[in-house]
Every structure is written in C-alpha cells, then in structure tokens.
Chain A
C-alpha cells in the first residue's frame, strides 16, 4: 500500500492508483472534464491538475500515480488559478450560447464554469465558426461547441472499433472530424450514438425530433400511436430525475397519455413476435441445413456495420425486421384495418434508447402500406425526458395505467431484449420448448448475462448440443465476424448489439452512461422479467391470437411480407 497526503488528509491506496482515484476514495473532489469512466485516460483537458510538493509544475491527477510520501494539494491558489484559466480559455473558443443548447443544465463545461466561479471570462471569444453536420437522420454534429476532449474519438475507436471520428490538424486549429471532414453520412458511421452519449457538451447530439411529435399530437386529424422500447423503462427515471432504476410501466403509460398519445403500446409485444419469427427461422435453418450461424437483426447499428463492412455475412443475418419496424408494419396494416382507419392518418412514434433507430425508420423498404413510413418518428429516451419536462409531468403523483391493446400484453422474454444476451435468452426459452417439446426447467440462461464482451453458452436442441455467442459493442462484433467470414465460426446462433451493455447502454440513453449504470439498468431489466405473468414469448396469448386471427403461423407468407426484410451491401 502507498501512503501519501492529499490536502492534509492521510491517504492510503494500492500501488498504481492515480491521484484522482485516491482522492475520490477519500471524498476529496478534483474536477475533471475529459476524464470518463471506462474510457482511456488521455489527459487532454488539464482541468484535474494538482500541485505536488517538490515536483516541477502542476501534474494531471488523472494520469499520475501516487507515490509513497507524496504531499499533494488539489486546491492551492496556484491550482485553482490554473484550472480557472484553462476553463476560460476553453470557453473563449466555444459557442457558449448556453440557453440555446440541448445540454443546458446538463453540460459538463457549464457545470465546471459554475464550480470554478467563472462569472465573466477574461478572454475574448475567438471562435471561428464551422459548419454543422445535419445531413443524417440520427446524429447532429456542432463543431462550434466541441471542446476537443477526445471522448468521442476514444469511444468510436476503442469501444466500437470504428475510427470514424479522429483528431484533425494540430494545436488550436485541431478539430475532431471524420476523414476529409466528410459528413457522417458519407462515412462508415453506424449511427450508434456512443459519441453523443459520452460528449460532455452539446457538440454531438441526437437529431431532435420532439417538435414533429408535438405537431402531430396537436393535430386532431391524426391518430398518434407510440411504442416504447424495453430499455427505455429502466433508464427514463434517471433522465427525468425521478429515481434511478425502473419506472413502473403503469406510470410510464400514464405519463405518455398525458403527453397526448391516443394509444400507448409496448415494443415488447413485437419483441415477442420477433422471437416467434426468428426462433422459427433458426429451427428451420438448423433442420434444413440453412446458412448458420444465424445472426440477430434487431440492432440497426449492427445492420449498418454489416451492410457497409461485412457484405459476406448478410446471408447469416435473420430476415426478421427489428421489433420497432415490425410494430410499425403491423400498425399501418393489421391495426389500421382493425380500427378501420386510413394508414395516412395513423402516425407512429417510437421511443428508443437508440440514435440508429432514427436512421432505420427512414429506410425506403419499410413502407408496409406502400406509401407511408411504418415508423414516422423516432425519439430517444433523452427526447422523451425532454417532452416530460416540457409537459411538467410529476412521476411521484402520476396514476398507473395499463398499456393499450392489441399490442399491450407482453412477456418477460421480450423485456430481456434491452440487455445484452437478452435476445438470445428469449429465443432459447422458446426454441428449446418447441424443438425439445418439453418445458424448460430453468428459464434463466446465466451464461449469456453480464457485461463480458463475448459470452458463450451451449444448449441441447433435439439431442444436439448447439453453441451460441453473444457480443455487445462493435469492436467485439468484429472479433466474431472474423470466424464467420472465414467460415470457421463454431456457433449456431450469434446475438450482436452495437452498444456496450446492449440497448440499455444505447446512444440515446441518458448522458454519461458508464458500466455501473449499465449494471443497474440490466438488474432492473431482470426485475421486469421476473415480475411478468408470462416469461416466454410463445406463451403470450396476444401473440397466439395475432397468429390465429391474422398471420396464420410464424414465417407464413403474410408474416414474410410484413415482418421480414432483406439486406444489401452498401458501398461507400
């Protein structure tokens, strides 16, 4: 153990502990800006500097390990002055129009300026304005707000293995941008939005679509439906400052009704439907010698990556549309028929933990009625939080209401879709019982749970052991793809989610998601599963009724027409 003194407090910590970590352990707060849990330490911003007795100059506490006998001051006049000057310099090259920024009151730079008592800036603003990138439906980039902390570069490179964003130029002319300063639309970007989630300021954000939703909510000629994804209910509490963890479905439905949605439905319903369709597809491929491993298709970030970078694996990907798109397709056909309404008058909003879903909804092929987009607008968890705040929803007081039908009864299996391994677990619960024709004794598949990058499990199907793999984050997906491309993959089924932790760690989730928050949201997901009456998709009585009444059977002709899609290589 190492002994040192920080601000006259005796601090003991293990060798290799940084000054920042040691200080935090003893409740000494050193402000940071570029530092982010689970990402690399790059010491770019210099905000966390401290003074060490006998050392020349100030040192960054995030990257300096403690040494025996060190005497450290984290708040000496020299330190405070340096921090303040650095922050003022950053602000002098920043579009600090705070009230007209999506990060107002959640901005880390604004918070730092407040913390350091910067009431006015000694330096003149020298920002040279650069053009915004608003050319894709998912993400907005505003380089005028960028403070070059490098978090987005790190998450894009090391977590996602993409390297879309890099540091360009040098010194005070350095910019963070894609190659050739291209818009994201012209790059390999999958629109996963992890960059937006870690950005400390408003430089990368989702494209805000809340105005479009409000307009339709106030249009009496429109029948406005909303579907809400499984991962949103375990994180929206954080976003609205109600409480961490789960918000009950009842309160969530009620709050959505207050916003003015005619009907509030659950994407979990079409997650159950996905299991029926994808499970049947898997069984069919196993029994007929089809292309294996079968890979999941729920994640639009992954689909973007596969179409752009791995065209050879496209035949492996399930032809199932994602639950979001299955819902949209049913809403504009089956549901429109059922309520006797013209699909032109039905407006479908999705609430997703995801920025890539915004792109997915705009894909040309997703027009089941032949003319309207199946999903009209996608908003993220953060945008839903914004709408709740605009409406002044008080979650403490709000009453409970059930999801509307016919897309309201769902299972625990569907709820699992939000967490990495969830689609696999849900699929196994159903496929096991159908193939083996006997009830599953233990419905919990522990091997596919948790934050390990690539997880494996083996299951007996029809007397054969089959191997499944689960990966989350695109860097891990790449690792699995090597074997698939080479034709040596040992797996029968592979689940791929673009974001670390799965959808609960999606790019549209509350800002500043770290592994601790991911674990909490995953825990909430399993609570939702445990509380459900039905735990397996094929037990869902509404799903059974939908097949009986309309779709006939999984993978039927009509099911293929409405619920399945195709993929195509995209050259850049």
Chain B
C-alpha cells in the first residue's frame, strides 16, 4: 500500500498519527518510516517533523531506519529480566550472529529490545513483528527462528 492510500484512510488530525505510522511501517518489508514519509505525514496531520520524530523515537515498534523482514524485540523490563531474558537474548545473538540494533546481512532479521509487551505472567517474552512468543527457552527460541528462516511462519 502506498503512502497516499494509507493517509487517505485517516482524517488529517494528529490523533491518528500512531495508526498511520504503524501502517506505513508495516507496508514495507524493511519495517520503517523513511524521512520523506515522515515529513509527508507531519504535513498531512499538521504538526512539525520534530513532533512526529519524537513520537516515533518513543515507541520501539516504530523505526526511522530500515530493518529486517522479521523484527525480533526482546522485552527488557523487570519480570522478563528476572526470568533470564538475557539468555534469550544471547541465544538469538548466537544464532543470528548479530548484536542488539543490528540486522542480518540477508535482511531477514533485526534484533531489538522493547519495553514491556504485557506478557509478564509468561516471562520471558519476545515479539516478532506482530506475533508474541512467551515462556521462552533456548530450544523454543531456536525453533521459532528456524520456522521464520524456513518460511513456515
């Protein structure tokens, strides 16, 4: 879906900003909002670029730089931490051979941290694009990654 089609779904008002940004982010395999798109969106809803950038930089689900096809976000908040989310993180880093904030050379995966995603009762948790995975163990993480790699998910 191109930018104009997305914008035309919403009235030109700042309260629809986040919905628009998520749609734009989803509309590309690179999961990001480009500088030009950001400026167009700001002008459309009648706020400054700085205000849109401020909103985008606050929410981990949004990005202003290109990311992989699958954006993995590991929860970094306390309940997940207490349930050893660092092991989850380490497994992913080892499996994909990338660090936090990086994208694999084949542009398939990006690895990021996120604030609480509301799965504290089943910590540790992570999100891949819009899908949430909980009660993570080493094996579970590996099999999830494998499913994405092989195109099953």
Contact = CB atoms under 8 A, between A and B. Distances in A.
Interface stretch (B5-13, B50-58, B87-95, B132-140): B50-58
Contact of B54 (A166, A187, A188): A166
B58 A180 contact: no
Contacts of A178: 50
B115 A170 contact: yes
**B35, B49, B115: which has the most chain A beta carbons within 10 Å?**
B49
Interface of B: 35, 38, 47-54, 57-58, 64, 115
26 contacts: A163-B48, A163-B50, A164-B48, A164-B50, A166-B48, A166-B50, A166-B51, A166-B53, A167-B54, A167-B58, A168-B53, A169-B57, A169-B58, A170-B58, A170-B115, A171-B115, A178-B50, A179-B38, A179-B49, A179-B52, A180-B35, A180-B49, A180-B53, A180-B64, A187-B50, A188-B48
B57 A170 contact: yes
B72 to A, nearest CB: 19
Interface residues of A, number: 15
Interface in A146-173: 162-171
Contacts of A170: 57-58, 115
A562 B45 CA distance: 44
Contacts of A169: 57-58
Nearest to B42: A179
B57 A168 contact: yes
Nearest to B55: A166
A164 B47 CA distance: 11
Contact of A179 (B53, B58, B115): B53
B51 to A, nearest CB: 6
B62 to A, nearest CB: 12
Contacts, number: 37
Contact of A163 (B38, B47, B64, B115): B47
Nearest to A171: B115
B21 to A, nearest CB: 14
A168 B35 contact: no
Given A163-B50, A165-B50, A167-B58, 4 more contacts: A168-B54, A168-B57, A180-B49, A187-B50
A168 B62 CA distance: 13
Contacts of B47: 163
Nearest to A168: B57
Contacts of A162: 48
A132 to B, nearest CB: 19
A447 B51 CA distance: 37
Contacts of A180: 35, 49, 53, 64
Contacts of A187: 50
A482 to B, nearest CB: 14
Contact of B48 (A167, A168, A179): A179
A19 B77 CA distance: 34
A324 B135 CA distance: 69
A165 B50 CA distance: 7
